[in-house]
Structure formats: C-alpha cells, structure tokens
Amino acid sequence: MPTARHLAGHAVSAIGLGCMNLSHAYGTPPPFEEAERLLLRALDLGVTHFDTAALYGFGANEELVGKVLSPHRQQIFLASKCGMQGVNGTRVIDGRAATIKATCEDSLRRLRTDHIDLYTLHRWDKSLPIEESVGALADLVRDGKIGAIGLSEVSAATLRRAHAVHPIAALQSEYSLWTRNPELGALQACRELGVAFVAFSPMGRGFLAGKLRDPSTLNAKDIRATMPRFAPERYTRNLALLDQVQAFTQASGYSLAQLALAWLLTRGDNVLPIPGTTQIAHLEENISAQHIKPDAALLLQIEGVLAPLSIQGGRYNTASQAEVDTEEFA
C-alpha cells in the first residue's frame, strides 16, 4: 500500500497525526516533555501531515506544535483550523471575516511560521452564508498566509457552494468503521471536485482499539462522556458488535486499530486518516497500518458487522449536532 497521498498539492504521509489529544478534549493532557517525544517520534516514523486547531487547548496545542515542530517546518505539512476557538474560556463559533483573519494571525504566531499549508473552517457559522467565510479564507490565500482552504463537518451541498467561491482542497469530517456518514454524499462530492477527505477520529474516538470497556470511567472533562453512543447502555451494545469483530480477526495477526486504519485507506486514494494519541506505542501501531495488507474479505466482514444502522447512538449530543452540517443516517 502506498505510504504517500496528495493533499493541497503536496505529497504527505498516508496516515497523519491529529494533535488534539495532546492538549484537549480527552481529559488531562500529557506533560510537555511527553507530548514533545510523541511529536518527534511521529517525525521519525515518517509522518509529515500534522493537524491542529485554534480551538485545541484554546491555543495551547498550536503553541505546542509550533515549539516542537517549527525547527522541522520544511519537512512537514502543517494544517490548522479557524472559525471555532476559545473566547474568555468559552468555546465560540465565529465565521466572520475579521475573526477568521485575526485568528489566522494568532495561529501563525503560535505555530512560529509565516504560512499554514491548509487552513480549515472548523465549523460553519450558520448565522452567515458559507460563501462569506470562504471569501475571507480566499483573501488569506491571496495574501500568502495560507496555502489552501479546508472545510470541516459540512455536507456535500455546502462543500459545492464553497467550492464555487474558491477551490476547496480538503473536507475534514469524522469517518471510521463506526461513523460512515461521509458515504451519504460527502465522499462522492470530494471525488467529483478533486477534494481530499481528511478522516478525523478514524479510531472511533478509541472505540475501535477495543481497549475502552467501561465509558463510566471517563474523566469528567472527556468530551466522550457527553456523546450518546458512549452512554453505558448503548456502549454495551456497541461493544458486543466489536467483540464479534475481534473474534474473527484474531487469526489475522493484526490489531483492531491496524485493521480499522487499513480499512479507511481502501476507501479512496484521496482519504487521509489523522488518528490522534498520547501514547508512543499507539502511535507506532497506528502508523504501521499503512504497511499491512489485510485480506479484502476480512475487511468486508468487519464492515458488515459494524454497519451504520447497527451502531447505537448518535455522534454528538443535541447541541453539538446542531452545529454541524453533515449528512446523517436516519
């Protein structure tokens, strides 16, 4: 399996690194020294695509990535996001042109760079036409501050509207064996428009690794504690499906994590998973998935057990679901 794919005109590692976990969302982040070791190990393993955001740690993640990776800037493809950030300790969605441009200046400073290769609108601010926010991002491209524009968690229809204003290089949305929503239209639109698809949470927020058995043990600050499919009764049913998968994959010699990522890499040459982790052992396991060649029939069998309508619970709670624009299964 090729270990390079194309993103915004650059050849990048087929599997990138989502840096969020190092500063945000899943409980207490690791100390700087541990995060630094993980980022540098990713470089050693050939990872070139690093994804962060203004939101993560309310700027702390960009600071981390900038401090550790700026000496290696010429080796990496640097992606960040705007349109959703922390304001006075509160998460705010704001897609106004002035906010996007100010956020970009802050991101450039924190990342210690003069340009960001891919700058993604983290959430569409639905109080504004998508065209307005994309127009602001197009100004940043013309100014040389960003190389290309991405969108996150939008539908195929919104992607097409945005692409008519300025070429969109990448659509980033959740995609994994237990979140197949992009197959309802977004993936097809990406193929038609020549847009890369960046798959975040490709490990199902840890579910597909098979290690999280009891979601009641999650830290109170862990965002999964608010997600319907991690509610104990639903999660128990989802685990039963995963146990079925584990029963017939043990003989393959591959881990569930490797198979989940290998499956994503078969979904199209324009699909680029960005798993995140705080553990070097997990990082090494994830990156190794681009080198394995599991039997196609095995992947099809896994896909069948984890069929979309078999998964219990939605991706987000009601408030968070209202903020996204993705196609959803009934």
119 is annotated as an active-site residue? no
Is 84 within 8 Å of 55 (Cβ atoms)? Answer: yes
Q: Answer positive or negative: Cα dihedral of 259, 53, 147, 32.
A: negative
SS3 state at 88: coil
Output b/e per residue, 22-40; b: 16+ Cβ within 10 A: bbbbbeebeeeeebbebbe
Between CA 134 and CA 192 the distance in angstroms is 20
Task: Give CA separation, 125 vs 85, 92, 121, 131, in Å.
Answer: 12, 10, 9, 11
Output b/e per residue, 41-66; b: 16+ Cβ within 10 A: ebbebebbbbbbbbbbbbbbbbbbbb
Amino acid in the structure at residue 79: A
Catalytic site residue from 26, 56, 235, 254:
56
Query: Helices in the chain by DSSP H: which ranges?
Result: 32-44, 60-69, 97-111, 130-142, 156-165, 186-193, 232-249, 256-265, 280-288, 296-305, 318-321
As a whole number of Å, the CA-based R_g of the chain is 19
Between CA 10 and CA 204 the distance in angstroms is 27
Does an H or E element contain 50, and which? strand 49-51
Tokens representing 220 are: 């109170």
**Which of the residues are catalytic?**
56
